[in-house]
Amino acid sequence: MLPLGRGGGQVIKPEHLVKGNAMSGPMHGSTIAAAAYAIRVHCSISWPEGSRCLNCHQRFPCQVHRLAYETLVDDGWTDLQIEALDQRTGPWS
């Protein structure tokens, strides 16, 4: 699994975002940063058979996107703030 980002020398992976993990409880800044990064990377693209994740090509929303979304909502982010993370310049960027 490739790391989503680094925080304090620790590799942040999607499974770190799962509730009940050792990182649950008060949100760490690195957890929120990893969740925001995951939302930007695991965004929806249109395919003839429906929406797919740009990064992992699973049906959208993929597991990583769902976990990151839940993490940000639990931290008090609104839907508009989360949607604003998608700053693509084109359909494949």
Per-residue confidence (pLDDT) for residue 9, from 0 to 100: 45
Distance CA 50, CA 71 (A): 25
* pLDDT tens-digit map of 37-86: 999 999 999 889 999 999 999 999 999 999 999 999 999 999 999 999 98
As a whole number, mean pLDDT of residues 11-24 equals 48
CB atoms within 10 A of CB 51: 13
Per-residue confidence (pLDDT) for residue 59, from 0 to 100: 95
pTM of the model: 0.68
Q: What angle do CA 67, 77, 5 make, to 5 degrees?
A: 50
